[in-house]
Amino acid sequence: MTFSVASVLRRRWRGPKYLLAIPAIIWYLVFFAAPIAFIVLYSFGTKDSSRLVPVDLGSLSTKSYSAVFDETFFKTFRATLRISVLATFLCVVIGLPVAYFAAFKVAEKWKAIILAAVVVPSFTSFLIRTVAWRIPLAPNGTLSKWLVGMGWISDNGIQILETPMAVQIAIVYNYLGFMILPLFVALDRIDVRMREASKDLGAGRVATFMGVTLPLAGPGIVAGVLLTFIPMCGDYVTATVLGGAKGNMIGAMIASQFSGAQNWPLGSAMAILMIAAVLLALVVGFVVVWIAPRLAALASPVVQVVRRKILSDQSPASK
C-alpha cells in the first residue's frame, strides 16, 4: 500500500503541458476576448435608445465607422497620442536614472527602500492621486499665492488646471512607477562581470553604458514602454479630472459616447479604431527601434573602411 502511494507520488505528470495555461486562458476568454467580441459586434449595430442595451443588431452596418472619421475625432486622437508619446519618453528619461541608481549604486537594503518608495504611492487609489494634483495646482492655492508673492508668475496664479499641461504632468506621475519597476528588474539582472569586463577592455563609463548596460536593459525598456504607453492611450481618469474641456483625451471621448450620448455603436467603433491605431503606433515605433541599430551596423563596415583610409592617409610614416 505504502509502495503504491509512493509510486503515484513519484509518477511524472504526463498530461499535455498547456493544461497549466488553462486558468489564464479561461480568464482571458471570459474577461477579455468575450467583451472585445461584444464591442466589435456593437460597433456594427445602430443606436436604439428604447432598449435596455441601446443597440439594434437587427441591421448591421458600418455607419458608426464612417461617423468616427471626422476631424474632431482625429484631433482628439492626435492630442492623445502626443500626450502619451511625450509622457512615455519623459517616464524613460526620469525613470532610467532612478532604476540605474537603485540597481548599481546602492547597498542591497537601500534597494528595497527605493523600490518601496516607488510602489507605496500606488497603495492609494489612482483617482485620489489624480485629484490630489488639484491642490498644488489650484490658482487660489497656497503654492500659487506664494509664487505670485515672490513675483515669479503673473497675478492670475498658476493657470495649469483644465489644460493639456495638467494632464501631461499628472499622467507622467501616474505611470512612472510602471516604467521604473521593469527597468530596475532588467538592470538588476545584468551580470556585474559584464560591466567590469567592458571597463577592463578599456571602455569608459559612457561607452560601457551605451554599449553594454543599455542593450542588456533593452527588454526592460520595451516592457516599461508597453506598460506605460498603452494604458496612457486609454486613460480617461486623468483627462476627466484635470483636463477640463481642452485636455480631452480619446478615452474620455469614448466614455462619453457610452454614458452620456448612449451611442454604444459609435463608442464601440471609436474603441476598436483606437485599439487598431495604438497597435499601429507600437508597430511603427518598434520597427524604427529595430531598424535603426541594424542600419547603423550595416553602415559600420563602410565607416571603418573610411576611417582606416583616413588614418593611413594621415600617418603614412607609421606604415
Partner 1 sequence: MYTWGDYNDPDLVGALAGSTLNVTMKVDYYASNEDLITKLAASAGSSGFDIVVPTGPYIPQMIEKGLIQKLDKTLIPNMINVDPNYLAQAWDPTNDYSVCKNWGTTGYFYDTTKISKELTTWQDFIDTCMGEASGNCSVIDAAPNYCGMWFWANKINWNTETKADLDACEKFLVEEFAQHIKAFDSYPSTKLAEGAYSIAMAWNGDARQAYVRIEEAGGNPADWKWVLGAPNTELWMDNYCVAAGAPNAEAAHAWINWDLIPEISIKDLSYHGYHTGMKNMSQLISEVAPDLVKGDMIFFGDEQVATMQTQVITPALDRLIDILNKSKAKAGADLA
**Residues found near partner 1 in the complex (CB under 8 A):** 49, 52-54, 71-73, 75-76, 78-79, 82, 134, 138-141, 144, 157, 161-162, 164, 243-248, 253, 256-262
Nearer to partner 1, 94 or 281 (CB): 281
Q: How far is the CB of 88 from partner 1 (least distance, A)?
A: 18
Residue 55, classed as helix, strand or coil, is: strand
Q: How far is the CB of 264 from partner 1 (least distance, A)?
A: 9
To partner 1, the closest distance from the beta carbon of 144 in angstroms equals 8
133 or 184: CB nearest partner 1: 133
Q: Smallest distance, Å, CB 128 to partner 1?
A: 15
> Look-up: residue for cell 475625432?
73
What's phi and psi for 152, nearest 5 deg? Answer: -85, -25
CB of 54 or CB of 265, closer to partner 1: 54
At closest approach, how far in Å is the CB of 307 from partner 1? 46
Closer to partner 1 by CB, 30 or 53: give it: 53
Q: Name the residue nearer to partner 1 (CB basis): 157 or 231.
A: 157
Torsion sign over Cα 44, 47, 50, 51 = positive
Greatest distance between any 2 Cα atoms in the chain: 92
Nearer to partner 1 by C-beta: 168 or 198? 168
Question: Min. distance of Cβ 240 from partner 1 in angstroms?
Answer: 10
What is the 8-class DSSP label of residue 18?
A: G
Closest C-alpha to 39, from 261, 271, 260: 271
C-alpha 202/C-alpha 276 separation (Å) is 47
Strands 46-47 and 55-56: antiparallel
Q: Measure the CA dihedral 157/161/163/167, to 10°.
A: 130
Measured distance CA(175)–CA(228) in Å, rounded = 6
CA distances from 240 to 85, 251, 283 (A): 19, 9, 28
DSSP bridge pairs for 55 = 47
Minimum separation from the CB atom of position 62 to partner 1 (A): 19
CB nearer partner 1, residue 63 or residue 134: 134
Three cell numbers written together for 152: 515669479
